[in-house]
Amino acid sequence: GRSALRVQAVAEAERPTAAKSSGSAEPVTTDITSKLKYLFGRNGDYTNADAYQGTAWSVREKLIDSFNKTHEHWKKEDPKFIYYLSAEFLMGRSLTNTVYNLGLEGEYGNALREMGYHMEKVADAERDAALGNGGLGRLAACFLDSMATLDLPGWGYGIRYKYGMFKQGLKDGYQVEMPDIWLTKGNPWEVRRDDVKFEVGFGGRVERKKVNGKEMTVWTPSEKVIAQAYDNPIPGYATPTTSNLRLWDAVPVHEFDLSAFNAGDYDRAMLERERAEGISAVLYPNDSTPEGKELRLKQQYFFVCASLQDVMSRFRAVHGANWEALPEKACFQLNDTHPTIAVAELMRLLVDVEGLEWDAAWTITTKCLNYTNHTVMPEALEKWPVKVMAKMLPRHMEIIEVINEGWTKWLGVHLKDLKSEERAKKIAAMSIIHANPWNADEMLVNMAYLAVVGSSAVNGVAAIHSNIVKDEILNDFYEIFPSKFQNKTNGVTPRRWLAWCNPELAQLITEALGSSEWINDTEKLAGLRAFASDPAFQAKWAAVKKAKKAKLAELIKKIHGDDVNQNALFDIQIKRIHEYKRQYLNVLSIIWRYKQLKKMTPEQRKASAVPRVCVIGGKAASAYDMAKRIIRLVTAVGEVINKDPETKDYLRLYFLPDYNVTLAETIIPAAELSQHISTAGTEASGTSNMKFQMNGCLIMGTWDGANIEIAEETGVENVFVFGVRAEEINQLRKDRKNFKTDPRWDELMKDIEGGMFGDKDYFKPLVDSVNNMKVGNDWFLLANDFAGYLAAQEEVDATYKDQAEWLRRSIMYTAGSGKFSSDRTIREYAEDIWHVKPARPSA
Ligand code: Z2T
C-alpha cells in the first residue's frame, strides 16, 4: 500500500542509476484508458480486472523500451552470455514486480489512485505464471531476477506450457486437480517473436553419406515440429538492465493437411497440429520424482534443441563458423538433468551439421556446459530406457553410445593401477549406459552421469547437499574429477520475497538502517542486529507482523469461514507434499497437542497453553497416492479440532488449498514459526526457509539442506533444531526393526487406526508406512525424530511466552539473512562457473 510507496521514494532517491521510466510525456492515466479502449474496446466503468489489463499493457511498453536498450547494448558489446536451461520457471505474478523493479510505482500508483483504484487490488487480478512445480522452478525465477539486477548478460530458456501447474481444490477434504488455464485473457508479459522459429525433429533414420566429398552422418527425422519463440522481459532492480526469458511454443510445420481436408477427413487434417501442440501443452506435475513418459523426453529435447540452435545462429551471425570460440561467448547451466540431452545435441549440431571433428566438438561441448544437481533421492535420478531414446532420438542415442565408449575407454586407462576385476567393476558402475537394476533386460541412459561427463562444473545447492553429492551419489566421479565439483548454496530474491511482499517491514528496515541499499546489498541487513533487543524497535517490528497476520487471518476466513485468534502463534508448513518433507510428522505433533489440551481444565489451558494457528499447504503430485492421503489426514484432523469448543481457542489446523507463489507472498510475511522438518540428508536445500528467515519468521527444522547454513548465520541458539543427523541415517535405517517407539507415538497410531479422524481404511496405509515392522518400514524415520520434535515444540511454546525474546530472535533472523539473497548465489556462479561479467547499458 501507501507505505510501500514511501520505501520506494527513499529507494528512488538513492538509486545508483536513474529510474528506467521512459519519461513519456503522456500521462499514465490516459495511457491506461487508451489501452483499455483500443486493445479491449472498453469505455469507462472498469472492474479491477480491467484496470489490471490496462495497467499491465501500459507497463509492458516501458518494459520493452528497457529490454530494447539492454539488448542493443549487449549486441554492441558482444559479452559472454549465460543461458539458464530449465524445464521450469515458476514466475508467479509480474505486475507489482515489474512496476517496482522499474521504479514506476510512483507514476502508476498515483495514476490508479486518481482513477479510483488501488494498485494492490488491481495486481490481485493477475494470474500466476505457474510454469514450475516448486523449489527448482522458483529458484530459476529468482536467478533471472538476480542476473538482471547484477547486469549479467544472460537469458533463461524453457517451455511455454499452455497449462502450468494444476490448480488444487479440495472436495470433502481430498485433493482435486484442475487445469491451469492461464493464457486465455492474453499475456501482457510476453512478446511473440514471429521471426524466431526453429525446426525440431524426432524419430526417423540415421545414414552415413558423402556430402561434398566428406563422410557425414545424416539424420532424417520422421516427425518435425516448429519451436516458436516468446520473449518474457526480466527487469532488474535499480539498474537499466532488462534481461530475457525465452520460452518455446510447439506449433505444426503445416497449418493442416489440405489434401486430407479436401478428402473430407477432418480429423486426419488436424493430426499434425495436435501432435505438435501436445509437446508444449502441459507441465508434468512431479516435484523431485521424474515421470518416465515419452512425452516428457520430447519436451526436454524440444526446448534444448531450439535453444541451442538459437544461440548458435546468433553466434554465427557475429563470429561465423569459428566454433572454437563458442565457449568464450556462451555457457549453459543445466537446471538438474532435465536439459541434459544438450550434451548430445550440441555434439550433433557441431559434428553432423557444422562438420567439426568429434574431438574438437567434445572440447567445445564440455567447456560450454555445467550441471546443477537438485536431489539425492535415488528414485529421482532420471534414467531413460535406451529403447525409448533410440526410437525418439536415434542419432542422439548413437552419440551417447560413442561418448560412453570414449568415456569407459578413458576410464580403463585412468584406472590402470586397479586390479582388473576391480577396474571392470568401477567402469561398469560409472558407465553412462547400464542395465536397469530391477530389470536386467532393459538398458538405461543415466542422465546424471551424462551430465557430469559432459560438463565443466557440477554443483549441489547447499553445503550439506554438495557434500552428499561428492561423498555418496556421484562419489566415483568426484574421486576422478575432484575439482569439477562445487557448492552453490541457493538464494532467493530479496525484492519479491521481502521488499515487495512485505513493504511494511521493508520500510521499517530502511528507517532503521537509514537507507534502502539492503534491497540489493542484503549483507547490510546485519545492521539490524543492533536493534534486536531495543524495546521501541521490537514494538514496531511486532506491529508489522501483527498487520501481516491480520491479512492471513482474513484469507483463512475467506477460505474456511473461521475467525482465528490473531494473537495466537502462527505456525506454517508450506511446500510440496512429500513423505520426505514429513508433513505427517507435523500432523502427529498437532494431534498430540490437541490431546494434551483436552486433558487440561479450562483454567489450566488459560494459564499455560500457548494458542496456535497451524497452517499446512502444498500440492501432491497427481499420481502420488501417499501424499494425497497425507492431505486428507490434515483436513480430517482440522475438521475435528477446529470445531472442538474446549480447544478451539487454543489450537487450529487449516489446510490452505492451491499453494502457489502468490499465496506464499501473503503467508510468509505473516508467519512466526515455519517448519522445515525433512529427514536429515533428503532436502537438497529448501528455499522457502530463506524467505521465512528474511521475513523474521523463526525456524523449526532438522539439520538438513540450507537449514544448517541459516542456523549458522542466525545463531544456532535462535533456531529450534531437532532430529537425527544425516550421518546416522543409513545405520538407523538398518536398525529400524529394533527401534523402540515412544509410547506417545504408539498412542497416536492407535488413534488414527481406530478412526479418531474418520476414514480409517483410507488412513491405514499411512499408519503402515511408518510402522517399523511393515513394508514402508518408516523409511523417513518419523518415529526416530518424534520425541525430539515434541521437545522442540515445547521449547517453542516457552520461547513464545517471552515475547521480548521471541521478537529479538525474529529480528536476528532478518539480520542474518544476508547470505541467502540469490544475488550472492548468482555472483558465485558468475565468478566460479560461468566466468561472465556485468555489462550495464547506460540509463
Ligand atoms: C525440485 O523442486 C527440487 C529438486 C528436484 O530434483 C526437482 C524439483 Cl521439481 C530433481 C527442489 C529440492 O527438492 C529443494 O530442496 C531445492 O531447494 C530446490 O529444488 C532448489 O534447488
pLDDT digits (tens, 9 = 90+) for 785-802: 999 999 999 999 999 999
Question: What letter does residue 156 receive in the DSSP assignment?
Answer: E
Residue 48 grid coordinates: 479491477
For a substitution probing ligand 1, which of 142, 374, 383 has the most ligand atoms within 8 Å of its CB?
Answer: 374
The verdict on domain 2-170+178-382 having CATH code 3.40.50.720 is: no
- Taking the centre of ligand 1 as the mean of its atom positions, its distance from the CA of residue 135, in whole angstroms, is 5
Indicate if 575 belongs to the active site. yes
Indicate if 734 belongs to the active site. no
Question: In the predicted model, what is the mean pLDDT of residues 660-685?
Answer: 98
**Closest atom of ligand 1 to CA, residue 686:** 17
Active-site option among 73, 298, 396, 691: 691
pLDDT at site 268: 85
* CB of 232 shorter than 6 A to ligand 1: no
Q: Side-chain half-sphere of 818: how many Cα atoms within 13 Å?
A: 15
- Taking the centre of ligand 1 as the mean of its atom positions, its distance from the CA of residue 470, in whole angstroms, is 18
* CB of 372 shorter than 6 A to ligand 1: no
Is-contact 570 613, C-beta < 8 A? Answer: yes
pLDDT surpassing 70 at residue 24: no
Is-contact 90 138, C-beta < 8 A? Answer: yes
* CB of 668 shorter than 6 A to ligand 1: no
* CB of 686 shorter than 6 A to ligand 1: yes
d(CA 641, CA 254): 59
Question: In the predicted model, what is the mean pLDDT of residues 188-213?
Answer: 96
pLDDT at site 378: 83
d(CA 295, CA 719): 44
Q: Which residue, 122, 124, 123, 127, is CA-closest to 46?
A: 122
* CB of 681 shorter than 6 A to ligand 1: no
Model's pTM, two decimal places? 0.96
Residue intervals of the chain classified under CATH 3.40.50.2000 are: 2-170+178-382, 494-509+525-827
* CB of 504 shorter than 6 A to ligand 1: no
**Closest atom of ligand 1 to CA, residue 290:** 10
What percent of the chain has a predicted confidence (pLDDT) above 70?
97
Q: Which residue, 431, 429, 433, 427, is CA-closest to 413?
A: 427
pLDDT surpassing 50 at residue 69: yes
* CB of 621 shorter than 6 A to ligand 1: no
As for the ipTM of the complex, it is 0.98
- Taking the centre of ligand 1 as the mean of its atom positions, its distance from the CA of residue 375, in whole angstroms, is 6
pLDDT surpassing 70 at residue 13: no
**Closest atom of ligand 1 to CA, residue 139:** 20
Question: What letter does residue 236 receive in the DSSP assignment?
Answer: P
Residue nearest to atom 17 of ligand 1 (CA): 686
For a substitution probing ligand 1, which of 334, 375, 710 has the most ligand atoms within 8 Å of its CB?
Answer: 375
pLDDT at site 11: 40
- Taking the centre of ligand 1 as the mean of its atom positions, its distance from the CA of residue 298, in whole angstroms, is 21
* CB of 689 shorter than 6 A to ligand 1: no
Across all residues in the chain, what is the average pLDDT? 95
Q: Which amino acid is at 20?
A: K
- Taking the mean position of all CA atoms in its chain, how far away is CA 641? 33
Question: In the predicted model, what is the mean pLDDT of residues 529-557?
Answer: 98
Consecutive H or E run containing 740: none
- Taking the centre of ligand 1 as the mean of its atom positions, its distance from the CA of residue 72, in whole angstroms, is 35
Indicate if 581 belongs to the active site. yes
pLDDT digits (tens, 9 = 90+) for 121-142: 999 999 999 999 999 999 999 9
- Taking the centre of ligand 1 as the mean of its atom positions, its distance from the CA of residue 642, in whole angstroms, is 33
Going by C-beta distance under 8 Å and a sequence separation of 6 or more, which residues neighbour residue 52?
95, 122, 123, 124, 125, 126
d(CA 271, CA 255): 10
More confident residue, 13 or 841: 841
Residues in the chain: 843
d(CA 551, CA 547): 7
**Closest atom of ligand 1 to CA, residue 138:** 20
pLDDT surpassing 70 at residue 25: no
Question: In the predicted model, what is the mean pLDDT of residues 767-786?
Answer: 92
- Taking the centre of ligand 1 as the mean of its atom positions, its distance from the CA of residue 245, in whole angstroms, is 20
Q: Which residue, 557, 559, 563, 558, is CA-closest to 656?
A: 559
Residue nearest to atom 9 of ligand 1 (CA): 287
d(CA 803, CA 809): 10
pLDDT surpassing 90 at residue 231: yes
d(CA 177, CA 168): 5
Q: What is the DSSP string of 82-150?
A: EEEE-S-EEEE--HHHHHHHTT-HHHHHHHHHHHT--HHHHHTTPPPEEES-SHHHHHHHHHHHHHHHT
pLDDT digits (tens, 9 = 90+) for 233-283: 999 999 999 999 999 999 999 988 889 888 998 888 889 999 999 999 999
CATH topology for 494-509+525-827 is Rossmann fold (3.40.50)
pLDDT digits (tens, 9 = 90+) for 480-527: 999 999 999 999 999 999 999 999 999 999 999 999 999 999 999 999
Q: Would you tell me the crossing angle of helices 503-513 and 535-560 to the nearest 10 degrees?
A: 170
721 torsion bin: left (phi>0), alpha (psi -120 to 50), beta (else): beta
Question: In the predicted model, what is the mean pLDDT of residues 534-558?
Answer: 98
Residue nearest to atom 3 of ligand 1 (CA): 136
pLDDT class of 356 with cuts at 50, 70, 90: very high
* CB of 473 shorter than 6 A to ligand 1: no
d(CA 628, CA 626): 5
Q: Which residue, 369, 132, 100, 105, is CA-closest to 245?
A: 132
pLDDT at site 1: 30
Indicate if 576 belongs to the active site. yes
- Taking the centre of ligand 1 as the mean of its atom positions, its distance from the CA of residue 683, in whole angstroms, is 8
Question: In the predicted model, what is the mean pLDDT of residues 402-428?
Answer: 98
Question: In the predicted model, what is the mean pLDDT of residues 629-652?
Answer: 98
pLDDT at site 345: 99
Q: Partners of 370 in the beta sheet?
A: 333, 457
Where is mean pLDDT largest: 210-219, 260-269, 311-320, 765-774? 311-320
pLDDT class of 26 with cuts at 50, 70, 90: low
Consecutive H or E run containing 822: helix 822-829
Going by C-beta distance under 8 Å and a sequence separation of 6 or more, which residues neighbour residue 226?
197, 198, 199, 200, 250, 251, 252, 253, 276
